[in-house]
Each structure stands twice: as C-alpha cells, then as structure tokens.
C-alpha cells in the first residue's frame, strides 16, 4: 500500500502510524500549501496545555506548491523553536536520549524552502521511531507530479492500493484505486505536565516513552477498507 501525504512540521502520531503501516510513503511536497494546517507548524505540550511553534514564511504562500514556499529567515525562529522544545521537554525521561539526533535541525542545518525543512522533520521522526518504510519526495519524481493520480502514474504503481487517514479518504477514492483508511485511536498517555492533550507532535510521545512510543503508535492504528468507514 502507498500513502501520499503532504509533509508536516514534526508530524503528529497519526501521521507516524500511517508511515508505519504503509509499504511506501510519498511526501507530497508538490501539493499546494494550506494555511491553518500542520504544514508549517506543530503542537507542543506546555504547562498551560499546549502551544504552536510556527515556521515563518516569505510573502503570500497560500496556494503555492510546498516545495516552492520560502522560509522567512529574517528572524530567530530556529532559536525560539529549540527553546520551546528545551523548556517543555528537557525534564522528560528520553529528551537527552534523542537530543543529539534531533538538535542539528535547529543549529547546524539550513532550509531554503518549507519542504526542505518539513520533509527533513518527517525523516527525523521516522528515524527516531525506527521506521524503515521507504520515503519519497514528490518533487524529486520525474516531472514533480502534483496530484495523487499523477504521482501514482509517475511511480508506475499499477495495481497498488492507497492507504490514507480519514480526512483524505474521499479524495483518494476518486482515483478509482482500492483505498484503505487508517483509523487511529491513541489512548491518553503520560505527558510531561498534568492532564492529557491530543494532537501533539509525535516527539511529545517519544520524549516521554522512548522506543516504546513507536510500538504504541503502531498498535493504535487499524486498517479498514474505505467502503466500511462510510
């Protein structure tokens, strides 16, 4: 099964579960950038509940292909984001365990485009979660296909079924392919502050539970045929 999904900035656990259950995962960085999404922001747990960390963009990015959206580097967003991770997670059991593999995104690497950053954040999370699903960037495919149909055609994925999350099931079904939906039901887990907040970056789970987080995220996902989910 192939999963096709725009890259997210330090994606949520459901996104990671989708990667775990797919045979191939396409980072659809040729899709249009969407405001009010997780494409340039992520949710972190904090003492008051949660907070956004948002990557600033140049100009009017809405509707542009993600791999052409430029990041606004005329501020210190990387430093602020790293401080947010440090402040909220430094006291967790596994922060130091992951820190050396995680920190270079904020103090060593440069990101010309939003896709460069977000695709890398997906790859980092996948590596920390020990996911071996092959990951492909749509912008690196021949012709940089910008739709599910065109991506599948470029990959010569004849007969392959699609795996998606519920929010894109209807779009995937329009391809005429066999479509399966990953239903994700993650039970509340111990977080670094009192209470439980859903939809956090999967890094929240990893910092608190270490390697066991990947197992629990995988177990929270079940695959069903699309017709059965209507």
pLDDT digits (tens, 9 = 90+) for 200-223: 999 999 999 999 999 999 999 999
Are the C-beta atoms of residues 131 and 16 closer than 8 Å to each other?
Answer: yes
Could you give the angle at which helices 212-219 and 13-21 cross, rounded to 10 degrees? Answer: 80
Strand 49-54 and strand 41-46: the pairing is antiparallel
Confidence band of 23 (pLDDT split at 50, 70, 90) = very high
User: What are the structure tokens assigned to 170, written together?
Assistant: 């209807």
**129: three-class secondary structure by DSSP:** coil
What average pLDDT does the segment 86-101 reach? Answer: 96
In sequence order, which residues have a C-beta less than 8 Å from that of residue 155 and are 6 or more positions away? 2, 24, 26, 136, 141
Q: What is the pLDDT of residue 73?
A: 83
3-state SS string over 48-81? CEEEEEECCECCCCCCCEHHHCEECCCCCHHHHH
What average pLDDT does the segment 157-182 reach? Answer: 92
Q: What is the pLDDT of residue 107?
A: 87
Handedness of CA 61, 147, 136, 217 (dihedral sign): positive
What average pLDDT does the segment 188-210 reach? Answer: 97
Locus of tokens 């790859």: 123
Distance CA 69, CA 88 (A): 29
Q: What is the pLDDT of residue 140?
A: 97
Burial class (CB in 10 A: 0-12, 13-18, 19+), 138: buried
Strands (E), 98-166: 135-137, 162-164
Q: What is the pLDDT of residue 39?
A: 96
What average pLDDT does the segment 152-178 reach? Answer: 91
DSSP 143: T
Q: What is the pLDDT of residue 109?
A: 77
Structural domain boundaries in the chain: 2-229
Q: What is the pLDDT of residue 228?
A: 52
Q: What is the pLDDT of residue 193?
A: 97
pTM (2 d.p.): 0.94
Q: What is the pLDDT of residue 229?
A: 44
pLDDT at 15 over 50: yes
């Amino acid at each position: 099964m192939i999963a096709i999904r725009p890259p997210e900035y330090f994606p949520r656990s459901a996104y990671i579960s989708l990667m775990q259950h797919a045979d191939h995962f396409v980072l659809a960085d040729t899709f249009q950038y969407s405001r009010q999404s997780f494409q340039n922001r992520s949710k972190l747990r904090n003492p008051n509940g949660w907070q956004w960390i948002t990557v600033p963009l140049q100009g009017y990015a809405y509707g542009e292909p993600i791999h052409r959206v430029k990041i606004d580097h005329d501020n210190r967003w990387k430093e602020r984001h790293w401080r947010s991770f440090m402040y909220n997670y430094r006291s967790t059991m596994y922060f130091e365990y992951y820190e050396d593999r995680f920190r270079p995104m904020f103090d060593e690497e440069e990101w010309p485009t939003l896709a460069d950053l977000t695709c890398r954040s997906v790859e980092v999370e996948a590596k920390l979660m020990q996911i071996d699903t092959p990951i492909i960037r749509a912008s690196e495919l021949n012709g940089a296909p910008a739709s599910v149909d065109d991506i599948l055609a470029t990959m010569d994925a004849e007969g392959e079924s699609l795996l998606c999350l519920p929010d894109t099931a209807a779009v995937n079904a329009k391809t005429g392919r066999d479509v399966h939906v990953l239903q994700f039901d993650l039970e509340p887990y111990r977080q670094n502050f009192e209470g439980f907040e859903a939809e956090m970056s999967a890094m929240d789970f990893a910092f608190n539970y270490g390697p066991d987080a990947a197992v629990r995220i995988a177990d929270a996902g079940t695959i069903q045929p699309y017709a059965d989910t209507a």
